Amino acid sequence: MCGIVGYTGPRQAFPVVLKGLKRLEYRGYDSAGVALLKNGNLSVYKKKGKVADLEEHLIGKDIEANIGIGHTRWATHGEPSDRNAHPHSSASGRLAMIHNGIIENYAQIKQELVKKGYQFSSDTDTEVLLNFIEDIRNNNNSSLEEAIRIALKRVTGAYCILLIDQDDPHTIIAARKGSPLVIGIGKGEHFLASDASPIIEYTKEVVYVNDYELAIVKPDELILKNLGNEKITPYITKLDMELAAIEKGGYDHFMLKEIFEQPSTIYDCLRGRLDANAGTIRMSGIDKNIEQLKNANRIMIVACGTSWHAGLVAEYIIEELCRIPVEVEYASEFRYRNPIINKGDVIIAVSQSGETADTLVALERAKENGAFIFGIVNVVGSSIARLSHAGAYTHAGPEIGVASTKAFTGQLAVLCMMALNIAHAKGTISEDRYKKLLLELEEVPEKIDSILKNAEEVKKIADVYKDASDFLFLGRGYNFPIALEGALKLKEISYIHAEGYPAAEMKHGPIALVSETLPVVFIATKDPYHEKIVSNMQEIKARKGKIISIITEGDEVTPPLSDHYFSIPPADEIIAPILSVVPLQLLSYYVGTAKGLDVDKPRNLAKSVTVE
């Protein structure tokens, strides 16, 4: 949450920072601001609203500068407003700072500062930290760098901060704990950002800053230090990302582009790993740790949001194929409930961003307790990827739409391959079934492609139901988590209240909601319990609910029961969720756009939740 950008070098800083903020807007978009430094003059401009509002606000203003920092906000402390927007200025006006994260003990520090006579012009924890730093610098007569170090040792919480000082015309000082920071290394210039997307078009050489590190960044020098003032050699890595991957490429929205990218993202995810003809799955993170994985007493999957739903599907798959008990936990619960972690337990972390604060901290705790951590992450080099003992990337490419789509199907593909790999090594799957599932996985990109060719059919359904006030999503077995995901997508994108339920459990409550105005989406693909879900459809029909069903091509039983249906290609029940979720992604997209909503930036949400 919150996106931060910084630039120091020979270019005009403002265009670099502004473009970077637009790329990072998925991280938060309730207000935005920049601080620019020119000839010892520090100018701070900020505005409630989106980055485009800031841009408009700055027309005609003096924005010339070769050093600048910018911020796009997802409010934590203080409502979205001009005065709570970042950057914040220190009491003397000499320092400007942006911050991503939460300073948990800010109230106590604020009290101390108020006693000393400080006044605050915002409700933010950020302004408190900034004045605390300035106070230390004044009292101790220390350098800014030293003051930051002292302050950061006192604060609890998460932060990535960028500061500029009007008396130091070329330097940005940055520090992180818990919130991401990437530094791009150019020729005589440096770029700083929450992720690599603002940097990619200028340089591919980057340094991922670690927790408790401080970066002193000048145009031609990057110094990294720990909080003990010891120098650290920056580890430079090469970005494996193209500019086209972070642009809309002719689509109206990133979300639609990302839905339509799924045939190729799944192909990329399987490529070089799965060889159905040879009957092999090669994934180095799994191969190297296969003994640990196949002998696990228990697997715990820890995740949030859509990634948690991928974990739920995996629970069904791993228990079925590998015969290992699986528990799926919300990271936010896991981290606070003192879970029992035994030797031999494996923790699988599932995360698109690799930065979700709850997941990250849950893993840190589990690691301290001796658990083996396997990360399934999309963003290469992210914190969770680095913290894991082993892992597998989903290779879905940058996902910019706030609602997760292609990352989810990538997670399912990886989890499927992982389960097949373990089951094969363990001997809990027959050779026939193993080969059949490998072949079916290989066919997934083509099958998604054929679903997408009929996207217009989903749009027609969306137009019919766009004004409904509630939706119910029902599924059984492997498709139960898909019902949850379908409901979550619709809530996120269209602000329509929606609930996902196991189809049979519907009788224990939600059936009371059924009336002729309630659309009920059944994920009713052909599987061994198809007859059961048909009975559930009858129950809804008898109560005059409107039925929209996702069915398998050739199914003749469900269409007469449905007001609308959408067919997907036949697939084994283990593979079906990767397909059945696609029409639900389209449904939420088309409902959202039919309602005229900003589907890429739904209200109140952020893509990467780096606060708890």
Residues at the site binding ligand G6P, with contacts judged by CB under 6 A: 304-307, 351-353, 356, 359, 402-404, 605, 607-609
Q: How far is CA 597 from CA 328, 490, 493, 601, in A?
A: 33, 12, 8, 9
Q: Of 90 and 404, which CB lies nearer to ligand G6P in the complex structure? A: 404
Between residues 148 and 402, which has the closer beta carbon with respect to ligand G6P?
402
Q: Which is nearer to ligand G6P, 312 or 571 (CB)?
A: 312
Q: 3-state SS of 477-515?
A: HHHHHHHHHHHHHHHHHHCCEEEEEEHHHHHHCHHHHCC
Six-digit token pair at 272?
Answer: 């070089």
Residue 427 gets the label, from left (phi > 0), alpha (psi -120 to 50) or beta, of left
Of residues 135 and 485, the one with the C-beta less far from ligand G6P: 485
When the beta carbons of 311 and 445 are compared against ligand G6P, the nearer one is 311
Residue for token pair 């969720």: 577
- Nearest approach, Cβ of residue 321 and ligand G6P (Å): 24
Closest separation between CB of residue 325 and ligand G6P, Å?
A: 24
Which amino acid belongs to residue 197? S
Please report how close the Cβ of residue 304 comes to ligand G6P at its closest, in angstroms.
4
The catalytic residue among 2, 269, 304, 322 is 2
The beta-strand segments (E) located in 369-463 are 372-377, 390-393
Q: Quote the tokens at residue 561.
A: 């029961």
For residues 202 and 76, is the Cβ–Cβ distance under 8 A?
Answer: no
Which one of the listed residues 46, 47, 294, 607 is annotated catalytic?
A: 607
CB of 580 to ligand G6P, least distance (A): 18
Buried/exposed 528-556: b ≥16 CB within 10 Å, e otherwise:
eebeebbebbebbbeeebbbbbbbbeebe
Q: Which residues contact 43 (CB under 8 A, 6 or more apart)?
A: 35, 36, 37, 61, 62, 63, 65
Distance CA 188, CA 109 (A): 38
Shortest separation between residue 211's beta carbon and ligand G6P, angstroms:
17
Tokens at residue 534, please?
């048909």
User: SS3 of 76, please?
Assistant: coil
Structure tokens given for 314: 């995996």
Residue placing its CB nearer to ligand G6P in the complex, 479 or 608: 608
Instruction: Determine the angle formed by the axes of helices 144-154 and 125-140, rounding to 10 degrees.
Output: 130
Cα 228 from Cα 236, distance rounded (Å) = 22
Place of tokens 């699986």: 326
Min dist CB 30 to ligand G6P, Å, is 15
Q: Measured from the CB atom, is 262 or 352 closer to ligand G6P?
A: 352
Nearest residue relative to ligand G6P (C-beta): 305
Q: Is 607 a catalytic residue?
A: yes
CB 475 within 8 A of CB 482: yes
Give which of 44, 47, 51, 59 is closest to 21, Cα–Cα.
Answer: 51
Residue 19 among the catalytic residues: no
Between 14 and 26, name the residue whose CB sits nearer to ligand G6P. Answer: 26
Distance in angstroms (rounded) separating the CA atoms of residues 417 and 322: 12
- 301: Cα within 13 Å, side-chain hemisphere: 29
Could you give the dihedral angle defined by the CA atoms of residues 84, 87, 91 and 94, in that order, rounded to the nearest 10 degrees? -170
Q: Angle at CA 128, nearest 5°, toward 126 and 132?
A: 120
Q: Which residue, chain included where needed, has tokens 């930036």? A: 601
Query: In the bound complex, what is the minimum distance in angstroms from residue 362's beta carbon to ligand G6P?
Result: 11
Q: How far is the CB of 404 from ligand G6P (least distance, A)?
A: 4
| 371 DSSP 8-state letter | -
Radius of gyration in angstroms for the set of CA atoms belonging to the chain, rounded to a whole number = 25
Write down the least CB distance from residue 365 to ligand G6P, Å: 16
Least separation in angstroms between residue 586's CB and ligand G6P is 17
Indicate the pairing of strand 221-226 with strand 31-38.
unpaired
Number of neighbouring beta carbons within 10 Å of residue 469: 8
Q: Which CB atom, from 2 or from 403, has the smaller least distance to ligand G6P?
A: 403
The CB-of-358 to ligand G6P minimum distance in angstroms stands at 8
Closer by beta carbon to ligand G6P, 68 or else 602 = 602
For 160-177, the DSSP string reads EEEEEETTSTT-EEEEEE
Contact at 8 Å (CB) between 483 and 523? yes
Q: Which is nearer to ligand G6P, 122 or 332 (CB)?
A: 332
List the catalytic residues: 2, 607
